[in-house]
Amino acid sequence: MTSSTLLRGSRVRLTALTQSDLPTIVQWHQNPDFLRLFDALPASPKTEAALTQWLDDTHKSTDTFLFAIRALSNDELIGYVELDGILWTHRVSGVSIAIGEAKHRGKGYGYEAMQLLLQFAFDELNLHRVQLTVFSYNERAIALYEKLGFQREGVHREHLQRDGRRYDMYLYGLLRSEWEKGLKLQ
């Protein structure tokens, strides 16, 4: 693999997320449907100032890697992926993905972006394990994670309340050895 293909797939590439991306991200964080897929907090809109602070904090962090997902066809920002809370001693990290607009979901962008992020996590950072949580109602994300080889390792039963109903939160993990056996990008 060359450096030109490290963060580039056939449909998307991963780049730095910058201040110029903030107006788009602010729009996403005004949408309760987006927020409910991404966060356990109440779906309240985020201000540009709050998101600017988040981006600044992320760039200063030594345990987080945040990437914009851009379509190769037109360089449009369609989402972001993140490795966060990296425990360097143990070579373990959390992982998350957000596809901003519904029109970009279910088209394979998230799958390819996650493949690129996992390749970066295991090959470039030499991580041993990546892990995530997902809400039981986010069936599309669950299908994505399982397609990528993540194993459901646990459940926080009735962890989340939305619209008067209780939902589970699943815990998923992927070991480097599992990734190498199945889904490593060639």
Stretch 152-177: mean pLDDT: 96
Tell me the average pLDDT of the chain: 91
Domains of the chain, CATH where assigned: 3-182 (3.40.630.30)
Q: Which pLDDT does position 81 carry in this prediction?
A: 97
Q: Which pLDDT does position 79 carry in this prediction?
A: 96
What is the band of 186 on the pLDDT scale with cuts at 50, 70, 90? very low
Q: Which pLDDT does position 10 carry in this prediction?
A: 94
Supply the pTM of this predicted model: 0.91
Range from 36-40, 115-119, 160-164 that averages highest in pLDDT: 115-119
Residue pLDDT, tens place only, 77-109: 999 999 999 999 999 999 999 999 889 988 999
Stretch 155-182: mean pLDDT: 95
What is the band of 6 on the pLDDT scale with cuts at 50, 70, 90? low
Residue pLDDT, tens place only, 36-55: 887 887 778 888 898 889 88
Distance CA(56)–CA(17), nearest Å, equals: 10
